[in-house]
Amino acid sequence: MVQFKVREPAPEPATPRQARLNEQAREIAERFSAASISQVLLVGAVRVMDVAIVVGSGLVAHEFAFPGAVPIAWPYLLAMAIGVALSAIFAQAADAYHVVAFRNFGGQLGRILGAWTLVFAGFAAIGAYFDFGGAVQRDWMGYWFLFGGAGFVIGHSVLVVLVQQWAREGRLGRKAVIVGGGEPAADLIRSLESTPGNDVNICGVFDDRSNDRSPPLVAGYPKLGNIAELVEFGRLARVDLLIVTIPVSAEGRVAEILKTLWVLPVDIRLSAHTDKLRFRPRAYSYLGAIPMVELAEKPIQNWDFVAKRAFDVIVGSLALIVLAPLMIGTAIAIKLDSKGPVFFRQKRYGFNNEVIEVFKFRSLRHEMSDPEAKTVVTKNDSRVTRVGRFIRKTSIDELPQLFNVLKGELSLVGPRPHAVNAHTSQRLWNDVVDGYFARHKVKPGVTGWAQINGWRGEVDNQEKLRKRVDHDLYYIENWSILFDLMILLRTPFALAKAENAY
């Protein structure tokens, strides 16, 4: 796990907290700001759609072949199961599940309808050699073939239209930035552009060197700024991939760049296509035929992201139902205890450093509320109401954040979302701990690994903040659904013995 050093206090930060992009870089970032569509998830979704078409058309065919409420006999269910398996095999063999094929009407429909026809050719061949005693009616088979073909035509025609639109918007494929300019970057770009089926969309080049050492235009792509500005660009453009073209032998410079770029939720690769230093073949990953050394992986992506989101929605919905009486009782107690609204909104940092508004039960006196968290709540704070003291101690005040979970702004488990102005000793937290924003590479959570290990409540010194960040980074690097479940199960016991929550 990466460890971050605590900076020594200083009257003023030596560097600005956030580099400003030039006009060209900001314009390009806004052009690429729409979220990328994962090709892994897209192909998976198309496979699921095809299974639904095969099964759905079989059920509709059964209604036509046997009008009325006639139960489906097991031979028909078996035939549909075989149809699902054969259609998947034949479609895969015809390259129907390649993203490049999704962009063309003729190629896409020809592949999928050819695979569907082969399924029934297979059924015909089986029927010619084996006598199943009329277990499956031919009328049903005919209807199934027609309805299935129609379903494939409609479904894959819509798919082609959507894929073509996403391609025009630059959302289909990974948005990449080249780190480091000059001839090595130009060679890499030309190699990428000549690679068949390349899914990398290059946004531009970033390099710390001046124009006399690193030209402002590299293989047709502009140099948009320096490495510090790349962090802001990466967040605005929602970049997926950073490709570093600096030689492996320049390890000091590579390490310095990584220290800056670590906070972004992206894959980071070191290009090795022109490097004289060679590793074992297993040390490389590849973009097409171009060898890359993996420096950092984007956490919780593709099917892991889907699994975590499904977990959040299902468990979060159940939690809201189970905890509804407690939440209603809390709302009534807050209303009876002090004047003001029941709920409280506070701006906090979310995924990729985006600012979100989280919901909480109000625990401070309404006239003393502090939505910007300029004053830290401390022990025996006079602003806290009687009910507020109890719900803060037990974290009941955090329960409305389940609504943020269902909205997709928070996860059930993750690094806790800190207020945008959270500070210690008059210094903002991102100025206290190096790499603080790396905790925002995943969605923040209602509970987290740091909280169940006792790191919650008041942060009155740098060591407490460093411990929180260390635990958050450990969670990001070791995430799994079972890890989330374990944290959720341990949360009530951790809250029961909390000592520093006021």
Q: For 7-47, give the DSSP string.
A: PPP-SS-SS-SSPPPPHHHHHHHHHT-SPPBPHHHHHHHHH
Q: What pLDDT score was predicted for residue 364? A: 84
Q: What pLDDT score was predicted for residue 326? A: 94
- pLDDT higher than threshold 80 for residue 150: yes
Sign of CA dihedral 238, 240, 244, 245: negative
Contact 325, 377 (CB under 8 A): no
Please give the domain boundaries of the chain with CATH numbers for all domains: 23-35+173-296 (3.40.50.20), 39-168 (no CATH), 303-496 (no CATH)
3 state SS for 56-83? HHHHHHHHHHCCCCCCCCHHHHHHHHHH
Stated length of the chain? 502
Residue 18 — φ and ψ, nearest 5°? Answer: -145, 125
Q: Name, of 2-16, 119-133, 441-455, the range with top average pLDDT.
A: 441-455
CB within 8 Å of 422: residues ≥ 6 apart: 373, 376, 428, 429, 459
Question: What dihedral do alpha carbons 206, 209, 212, 216 form, nearest 10°?
Answer: 10
More confident residue, 134 or 28: 28
424-434 mean pLDDT: 58
Q: What pLDDT score was predicted for residue 112? A: 93
Q: For 442-478, give the DSSP string.
A: S--EEE-HHHHTT--S---SHHHHHHHHHHHHHHHHT
Q: What pLDDT score was predicted for residue 191? A: 85
Q: Average model confidence (pLDDT) for the chain?
A: 83
- pLDDT higher than threshold 80 for residue 459: no
Closest CA to 14 of 459, 424, 427: 427
The share of the chain scoring above pLDDT 90, in percent, equals 30
Closest CA to 345 of 400, 408, 383: 400
- pLDDT higher than threshold 80 for residue 38: yes
Q: 357 in helix, strand or coil?
A: strand
CB within 8 Å of 127: residues ≥ 6 apart: none
In whole angstroms, give the CA distance from residue 430 to residue 444. 16
- pLDDT higher than threshold 60 for residue 190: yes
Ranking 10-24, 161-175, 197-211, 229-243 by mean pLDDT, the lowest is: 10-24
Q: Are strands 284-287 and 290-296 parallel, antiparallel or unpaired?
A: antiparallel
- pLDDT higher than threshold 90 for residue 117: yes
Closest CA to 240 of 191, 186, 173, 290: 173
- pLDDT higher than threshold 50 for residue 275: yes
Beta bridge partners of 175: 201
pLDDT tens digits for range 371-386: 666 666 667 777 888 8
Q: For 280-311, give the DSSP string.
A: -GGGEEEETTEEEEEEE--SS-THHHHHHHHH
Q: What pLDDT score was predicted for residue 12? A: 38
Q: What pLDDT score was predicted for residue 16? A: 38
Q: What pLDDT score was predicted for residue 484? A: 95
pLDDT tens digits for range 212-261: 778 888 888 989 988 889 988 998 888 999 999 877 667 778 888 888 88
Place of tokens 């022109």: 274
In whole angstroms, give the CA distance from residue 432 to residue 383. 27
Question: What dihedral do alpha carbons 247, 251, 256, 257 form, nearest 10°?
Answer: 30
Q: Spell out a b/e string for 216-228, using b for 16 or more CB atoms within 10 Å of the CB, else e.
A: eebbebebbbebb
73-87 mean pLDDT: 91
Residue 333 region by backbone torsions, left for phi larger than 0, else alpha for psi between -120 and 50, else beta? alpha
In whole angstroms, give the CA distance from residue 171 to residue 39. 10
In whole angstroms, give the CA distance from residue 112 to residue 157. 11
12-38 mean pLDDT: 74
180 — pLDDT class (breaks 50, 70, 90):
confident
283-293 mean pLDDT: 72
In one letter, which amino acid is 18? Q
